[in-house]
A = this chain, B = another copy of it.
Amino acid sequence: MAISRPLASPLSTDLYELNMVQAYLDLGETGDATFEFFVRKLPERRGFLMAAGLETALTYLETLRFDNDDIAWLKSTGRFRPNLIDYLAGFRFSGDVHAMPEGTVFFPNEPILRVTAPLPQAQLVESLIINIMHFQTLIASKAVRMVLAANGKALADFGLRSAHGAEAGLLSARASYIAGFGGAANVEAARHFGIPAVGTMAHSFVQIHDNEATAFEHYARARPDGVTLLIDTFDTEAGARKVVELTPKLKRDGIAIRAVRIDSGDLVAMARKVRGILDAGGLKDTTIVVSGGVDEDFIATALGAGAPIDAFGVGASLDASSDVPVLECAYKLQEYRGKPRRKLSEGKVTWPGRKQVWRDTAADGTMRGDVLTIDGDAQPGVPLIAPVMKAGARVGGAPSLADIRARAAEQLKRLPDRLQRLEPNAPYPVAISAALEDLARTTGR
């Protein structure tokens, strides 16, 4: 199996999209449709969400093509008629996209992406648009909690191994970097996105040596720039003492031990003991990195208790967003041929029409409240949704990852105090405008 193939594949979609496109072509239903992507509700313990994934989604729309192999396979299934086969063979996304910029704080029912395109196009891309927008938004929204808890301490994504596939590992590095992480262990994230790569050594490195001190020295000499030693393979305190003993010898060769890493046991208690050993040994500048089961609650508790931890490596809790591994998302038809549409399914009612979100802020920039309304209905504050693709081509250039990350940081500064806590205590107000209420009343059957 060529691991690369499926993601490039335009067949990464649900069969019902192809069924519907077949029917739309048969029926001549190719008028302009507007779909919006939004999250239905906040998961437990989240006070807000952070939008991410837009650039990946736009790239998907720009590059979606069915090649000869794809077409041959579709024909071979015998499921589809020639009009659909021809349509897919010539497929180019030619629609418009409006969206909130990546890194924007948002709330349930606020669309963060809107696609307006001929119905078969807008329908065909549903499965992957949700897949892309959901996952990066999920991870950014988790990572930002760690960023708030860490209060300036360094964070790195160590989670590739626990991510749901290699793609998930890569996109997790991207989404967490947007949210404020400082780097990732994933080398492909460095190459692909320019995210700072971080990494030390594994227990196996110590284990292949008959002597831990020898392992430390070997590692330091092999990787002399920014040496970080993993000290918990056998006995963490003994490991810290070996680091102290080794220092003068390495110093003669110009090598400094920048940090030690602890990956097991009571990380807070052990960090204190190790700090004591390092300080007593004159290694006041050697920092302490912890990893292994780290999440935002651990970070908040450890720093709240004054643990001398300088950096956190975060794995499964980040890359799988382990407490909330799924957001309830939707990509819903809101308008067709200029007429608003609405779904009334029990518990899943949607707001019809093309919408805009306006955000009001206090004089110091703090967010005060949002209004969800129909496009063109001005409200206090600023509108959050802007055109990003017109007739299949991007509007302006793609923002750099650094720009997106800066926007996210600026958004966090505007969060009301109560949303900066891990346990939100009062919901942020999102009002529905009178115009949207009116539209909803008159839409549907």
Contacts and interface: CB of A to CB of B under 8 A. Distances in A.
Interface of A: 1-9, 11-20, 22-23, 26-27, 29, 33, 35, 55-56, 59-60, 63, 73, 77, 79, 119, 123, 126-128, 130-132, 134-135, 138, 158, 160-171, 185-188, 190-192, 197-205, 207-208, 210-212, 218-219, 221-223, 225, 232-236, 263-266, 316, 320-322, 325-326, 329, 332-333, 336, 341-348, 444-445
Nearest to A62: B1
Contact of A20 (B29, B135, B138, B202): B202
Given A20-B205, A164-B171, A212-B445, 11 more contacts: A3-B167, A20-B202, A162-B329, A164-B168, A165-B165, A203-B333, A207-B333, A264-B345, A264-B348, A316-B326, A321-B325
A234 B343 CA distance: 7
B167 A165 contact: yes
Contacts of A203: 332-333, 343, 345
How many copies of this chain does one complex carry? 2
Contacts of A219: 19, 23
Contacts of A167: 3, 6-7, 165-168
8 A-B pairs with the lowest CB-CB distances in the bound complex, closest first: A15-B199, A4-B8, A23-B222, A164-B164, A265-B346, A325-B325, A16-B199, A130-B161
A131 B12 contact: no
A126 B201 CA distance: 12
Contacts of A135: 163-165
Interface centre among A19, A185, A210, A329 (most CB of B within 10 A): A19
Contacts of A126: 161, 202, 204
Contacts of A263: 345
A139 to B, nearest CB: 8
A187 B236 CA distance: 50
17 contacts: A7-B167, A19-B219, A23-B223, A26-B222, A35-B204, A123-B204, A126-B161, A126-B204, A131-B166, A134-B162, A135-B164, A166-B167, A204-B341, A207-B341, A265-B346, A265-B347, A320-B325
Contacts of A200: 16, 19
A16 B202 contact: yes
B345 A233 contact: yes
Contacts of A225: 79
A188 B347 contact: no
A161 B111 CA distance: 17
Contacts of A198: 15
Chain B CB count within 10 A is highest, among A12, A223, A266, for A12
A431 to B, nearest CB: 26
A366 to B, nearest CB: 33
Contacts of A55: 1
A346 B188 contact: no
Contacts of A77: 190, 197
